[in-house]
Amino acid sequence: MTLIRTTGVRLATVPMVVPAVLAVLAVGCGTHRPGDDAGAGTPSRAAATPSAPVDFRCPGESPTPTPSEVRSSGPATPPTDHYAENHGFMVPFPLHGRQRCEGLAAIARIKGALEPLRERADFAPNSTLDALTGLGYPAEKIRSYQDGLTGIGFLIDTYPLCVEGTMGRDGTQADAFGGYPDHAACDRPSGGH
């Protein structure tokens, strides 16, 4: 029978190997890979969440804004059908904070400038263009067009502040918004990304 003898060399390598293995294991501690379920119920650190836009009452605004003055940003819940999802690029950005106040002020100025035209039933695109350029908007930033038989549509493209509306026998409607996704202009895009 053969007797295997251990020498001091083999026993001396064990104390060097154990710290090396522990160091390798320690390097992996605290890492989280996508799909890991460890600690799923308790986050290890606070997650950063985007802050909600801040809106406040603007000068001259009534306590409850009318629906025609504030453009909706679409449904609060994500769309469940592909049509809505695929056409989300046509939903304009709402204005918030100071830009919202600037939009409401622009709407008030525009309605004031167009009201005399409406009262005398002047629904010519050139008259509308003249009234809007009289407010200081550059002519090349304004589109004014016939909207039906007795109305005018207009778009003022001073991106990122956009104003769109109509003027007809029943009144003037206007909305202010912040453009469209994937489109650095105020005109409604015709194709998505």
Give the separation between CA 156 and CA 176, rounded to whole angstroms: 9
User: Is 104 within the bounds of a domain?
Assistant: yes
Burial 81-115 (b: 16+ CB within 10 A, else e): eeeeeeebeebbebbbeebbbebbebbebbbebbe
In terms of residue numbers, what domain contains 134?
A: 89-177
Strand partners, 158: 161
pLDDT tens per residue across all 193 residues of the chain: 455 554 555 545 545 554 554 454 455 545 545 554 454 554 544 555 566 677 778 887 777 644 444 444 444 455 566 776 666 777 888 999 999 999 999 999 999 999 999 999 999 999 999 999 999 999 999 999 998 777 999 999 999 999 999 999 999 999 999 998 877 889 888 765 5
Q: Residue 102: what pLDDT?
A: 95
Give the separation between CA 153 and CA 132, rounded to whole angstroms: 12
The residue among 192, 182, 181 whose CA lies nearest residue 92 is 181
Give the separation between CA 24 and CA 31, rounded to whole angstroms: 13
Tokens of 193: 């990304």
Q: Residue 132: what pLDDT?
A: 97
User: Is 123 within the bounds of a domain?
Assistant: yes
Give the separation between CA 9 and CA 1, rounded to whole angstroms: 24
Q: pTM to 2 decimals?
A: 0.62
Number of structural domains found in the chain: 1
- Residue for token pair 């207009």: 154
User: Is 120 within the bounds of a domain?
Assistant: yes
> In which order are the strands placed within the sheet that holds 161-168?
142-146, 151-158, 161-168, 171-177
User: Is 152 within the bounds of a domain?
Assistant: yes
User: Is 23 within the bounds of a domain?
Assistant: no
User: Is 107 within the bounds of a domain?
Assistant: yes
Residue type, 91: V
User: Is 11 within the bounds of a domain?
Assistant: no
User: Is 122 within the bounds of a domain?
Assistant: yes
